Structure formats: C-alpha cells, structure tokens
Amino acid sequence: MIGSILGETLALDIMKVDLSMKKEFLTELKACRKELEKDKTEFSDSKKTITEPQLSSHSWQGSLADSFNRIRGLMKTAYNDISGKQLSDLLSKIDERIKSLEEDIHSLSQEVRSLEKKIENAKREARSK
C-alpha cells in the first residue's frame, strides 16, 4: 500500500512539473504571438515607404528609372507575401499550438486532480487499517 502511494505521489509530482512547464510555455507563446502581431502591424504600416518618394516621368526617366521601378515592384510583391501570407501563416500555426497547449493543460489538470484524490483516499484507507 505504501509503495503504491509513493509511486503515485512520484507520478503526481512529475505531472505537476509537466503542467507547470506547459503553462510557462503557453505564457511565453502568447507573449510571442502578441509581439509578432505588433510587428506585423508595424511592418504593414511601413509598406508605403516602398513607393516613396513618388517618381514621375518628369523627375525620373530612362533605363535606370525603369530598373528602379521594376525593383520597387518586386519589393512590393515580396512585402505583400511576407506581411500577408507568411506572417499570417505563422500566426495561425502559433494559434493552433496555443489551442493544443490549452487542451493539454486542461486535460493534465484534470488528471492531477484525479490522482490527488486517489492518493488522498489511499492515505485515508492506510490510516484506517
């Protein structure tokens, strides 16, 4: 009986450490997501700098102007891909991981409570013998 209680107590301690680590990771992941969301907003807000200053055919012309405008176009395309697709995909993956961790934490919390009750019942039973 005592060996069983010790084994279950050890398992409980391990579960509590795992639960604590998952909660800490969840907190860090949420902070990371918040920071990434802020960076995405700042990144999107600075998109207009790609097309500044506006260059007209009166102020800028020739093959260098054409090359420069092509480069600007490529930059704009890359910028849209990063701010639109890549960062959004990353945020979605983080959201999925957050949801998964929250489910793990909920499940593990229930297991901890169940094992705590089991240990307490076993201790009561051992005392009554």
Q: What DSSP string describes 66-81?
A: HHHHHHHHHHHHHHHI
Instruction: State the average pLDDT for the chain.
Output: 90
Tell me: pLDDT of 12 over 90: yes
Entry pTM: 0.77
Confidence category of residue 1, pLDDT binned at 50, 70, 90? low
Q: Can you tell me the distance from the alpha carbon of 50 to that of 72, in angstroms, rounded to the nearest whole number?
A: 6
Average pLDDT over residues 83-102: 95
The CA-atom distances, in angstroms, between 14 and each of 2, 18, 19, 43, 47 are 18, 6, 9, 42, 49
* Residue 83 and residue 40 in contact, taking contact as beta carbons nearer than 8 Å: yes
In this predicted structure, what is the pLDDT of residue 87?
92
Using CA atoms of 111, 114, 117, 121 in order, give the dihedral in degrees to the nearest 10: -110
- Residue 71 or 129, more confident: 71
The closest of 122, 129, 128 to 2, measured between CA atoms, is 122
Residue 79: per-residue pLDDT: 87
> Domain of 95?
2-128
Residue with tokens 């949801």: 99
Give the Cβ contact number of residue 56 at 10 Å: 9
Residue 58, phi then psi, degrees to nearest 5: -80, -35
Higher pLDDT, 1 or 63: 63
CA dist., res. 119 & res. 67, Å (int): 75
Per-residue pLDDT reduced to its tens digit, 59-91: 777 788 888 888 888 988 998 888 889 999 999
Instruction: Give the chain's domain count.
Output: 1
For residue range 33-67, what is the model confidence (pLDDT) as tens digits?
Answer: 999 999 999 888 888 787 777 777 777 777 888 88
Q: For the chain, what percent of residues have pLDDT higher than 70?
A: 97
Contact 47, 83 (CB under 8 A): yes
